[in-house]
Amino acid sequence: MYSIKQTVTTSKTDRNGQLKLFSAFQMMQDCSEMWIESEPTVKKYFGQQNMTQLLASREVEVVRVPSFLENLTICTGVFDCKEVYGFRNTFIYDEYGNVCYKSWSMGAFIDKTTGRLSKLSEEVIHSILYDEKLDMNYGERRIRLPQSETETFPGVLVQRNDIDYNGHLNNAHYIRIALEYLPEDFTVHGIRVEYKKAMRLGELITPKIIRGNKTFYVMLYSENTVSAIIEFN
């Protein structure tokens, strides 16, 4: 299990002094990415093979939203790994050890040069220190959209500050963009994200929304191809 410490500071809070969901996703993403620092065999192999890991899906349960100046611990651990996919939990705890956010995600191993799936060796897979699969909801990775009316909104350009070291729109920024299309009084209890196509600098994101009674679906398109589907409930 790899962990980092964070404090809910001003830049991470909304106008009510609570941790932004976008900031919580950034914390989980950062801890997930930093996990490789605790696995020297994996890190060395990725460097030698010119590989990286891209997030394919994430599911999050919101247990309690922390407030300004709370001290948090973000923990991540891999509970399973295949040749081309890895599975992990990332939980956020308050200073008393109570869970605030539960998450599980699936990442795909990618060749940086070709952008295609790349395999881990059996030696590397067996070298990983695995953690117990934690208790939470494990929904389907793929999101099935209801047959309902879709609203389309004006496009949003991918900006320089949206891009991370992989040269793509950072995973957390999909959430930041999607949240703008939820009603202000909508309380998010759970999120599922299916990442389908990485977006790059200068691409135009076209948001499309399906409104349900208790569930909202936000589809982010690049031209005619869906880049990500986010389910909020």
User: Rounded mean pLDDT of the chain?
Assistant: 94
CB 168 within 8 A of CB 174: no
Return the closest-CA partner of residue 51 out of 13, 86, 3, 26.
86
List pLDDT tens digits, range 90-142: 999 999 999 999 999 999 999 988 989 999 999 999 999 999 999 999 999 99
What span, in angstroms and rounded, lies between the C-alpha atoms of 57 and 230?
Answer: 10
CB 101 within 8 A of CB 62: yes
User: What SS3 state is found at 159?
Assistant: coil
Domains for the chain: give ranges and CATH numbers.
2-127 (3.10.129.10), 151-232 (3.10.129.10)
CB 35 within 8 A of CB 88: yes
pLDDT at residue 151 in the model: 95
What span, in angstroms and rounded, lies between the C-alpha atoms of 94 and 101?
Answer: 10
CA separation, residue 127 to residues 78, 154, 190 (Å): 12, 47, 33
What span, in angstroms and rounded, lies between the C-alpha atoms of 11 and 23?
Answer: 9
User: What SS3 state is found at 108?
Assistant: strand
DSSP 72-87: EEEEEEEEEE-SSEEE
> What is the model's pTM?
0.94
CB 52 within 8 A of CB 32: no
Q: How confident is the model at residue 161 (pLDDT cuts 50, 70, 90)?
A: very high
